[in-house]
Amino acid sequence: MDTLRDQVITEIVKARLGEDQDTCGQTIDVSVADGDLFLVGWCDSEKQRVSAVRIAKGAYGVRAVIDKIRVRRSASSV
């Protein structure tokens, strides 16, 4: 994979995360290296984390998704 392709994948996934009802507004960083896509950050629910991973896996050119998203604990679950 070349750097330009990785940059294009990164921008596409960022845009899709921003458009998705579940992941819009969440703090998720996206980076790609040689087709391996890294998701790092926080979201409010497991559903949002799963949606982000699904979006990333669905992007053309992604070889693997490395999920480093953490789900925030709500005050009611403490």
* Average pLDDT value for residue range 20-47: 96
Percent of the chain topping pLDDT 70: 94
Domain count, the chain: 1
* Average pLDDT value for residue range 7-31: 96
pTM across the whole model? 0.88
Q: pLDDT for 36-69, tens place per residue?
A: 999 999 999 999 999 999 999 999 999 999 999 9
Residue 8 within a domain: yes
The residue that leads in pLDDT, 77 or 57, is: 57
Contact 29, 10 (CB under 8 A): no
Residue 78 within a domain: no
Boundaries of domain holding 17: 3-72
